[in-house]
Amino acid sequence: MEQSRAEGFDGFVAARWSALFHLSRLLVGGDRHRAEDLLQEAMVKLWFVWPRIAEEAPEAYVRKVLVRAAARSARRRWWGERPVEQLPDLPEAGDVSAAVVERSRLEAALAQLPPRQRAAVVLRYYQDLSETQVAGVLGCPVGTARSHASRGVARLRRILSDVIEPVG
């Protein structure tokens, strides 16, 4: 019994980690380390309820945990980061600077949204959930979820349209 539980859980984590990590990263405004911590916390909670929800909707459960944990995390003032003496060496990559700049710009804009608007926008447009599913994850009526998403997208448009012209 325990063996099949672990195999099913391991398979789910292996198959969905990347997508869930990206969701987590968007929910916390692009901070990779907070996103990893958030996702690990969600996976620990999933492990304890795995026998009950393995056949139902484990991804929906993890999404809900991530959204709630991201909202709690946004209210904290300090997350326990510690400075290091030397930065790690990064591997060489091709020229992806334009993509990195655009992704960073979007993540910075998402970080400026209130947590519930950010969650609604990410769930609706990145995760491609229906308005009903977004409302379920956020624990609010469909109209409220729709309002959060609409206001979030409008604010993102304003933020992203404020392009500062370079001097010189």
- What pLDDT, on a 0 to 100 scale, did the predictor assign at position 93? 62
pTM here? 0.56
- 126 to each of 22, 79, 98, 99, 161, how far by Cα in Å? 9, 26, 20, 17, 20
- What pLDDT, on a 0 to 100 scale, did the predictor assign at position 3? 65
- What pLDDT, on a 0 to 100 scale, did the predictor assign at position 88? 72
Report the length, in residues, of the chain.
Answer: 168
Amino acid at 77: R
Cβ atoms of 104 and 97 within 8 Å: the answer is no
**Any residues with CB less than 8 A from the CB of 98 and at least 6 apart, and which?**
none
- What pLDDT, on a 0 to 100 scale, did the predictor assign at position 166? 46
Domain boundaries, the chain: 2-75+97-161
Classify domain 2-75+97-161 at the CATH topology level: Butyryl-CoA Dehydrogenase, subunit A; domain 3 (1.20.140)
Q: Residue ranges of the chain with pLDDT lower than 70?
A: 1-5, 74-83, 90-94, 163-168
